[in-house]
Amino acid sequence: EAQVTQNPRYLITVTGKKLTVTCSQNMNHEYMSWYRQDPGLGLRQIYYSMNVEVTDKGDVPEGYKVSRKEKRNFPLILESPSPNQTSLYFCASSFLTSGGNTGELFFGEGSRLTVL
């Protein structure tokens, strides 16, 4: 079954304790991206990747890191989480079209993170 898998789905942590949210897709998609969703603000892009070892900042990258060492995986790292990073996080993947745009985005089920 084609899917994007995120883990953990729910996490409560404390300020400053490093954490990683994993994301894996089995569709051989070139493009992967992380979003956060907050009430009243909609979905905002954190980082994205066009292929292995190619990543770029989205609109709200501060406080996050990513890596793309393998095509299928795109982990999101919070080196020193803070309460303002409490949010619902989505990983997504897509093929890239011949025109260089993203196609249909397939989302993971989301990871709800609370930082105390």
Partner 1 sequence: RKEVEQDPGPFNVPEGATVAFNCTYSNSASQSFFWYRQDCRKEPKLLMSVYSSGNEDGRFTAQLNRASQYISLLIRDSKLSDSATYLCVVNRGAGSYQLTFGKGTKLSVIP
Pick from 53, 70, 79, 109: which binds partner 1 (CB under 8 A)? Answer: 109
105 forms part of the interface with partner 1 (CB under 8 A) = yes
| Own/partner pairs, 35-42, CB within 8 angstroms, 24+ separation | 35/89, 35/90, 35/91, 35/92, 36/60, 36/87, 36/88, 36/89, 36/90, 37/87, 37/88, 37/89, 37/90, 37/110, 38/87, 38/88
100 forms part of the interface with partner 1 (CB under 8 A) = yes
58 forms part of the interface with partner 1 (CB under 8 A) = yes
Stretch that binds partner 1, among 7-15, 20-28, 67-75, 105-113 (CB under 8 A): 105-113
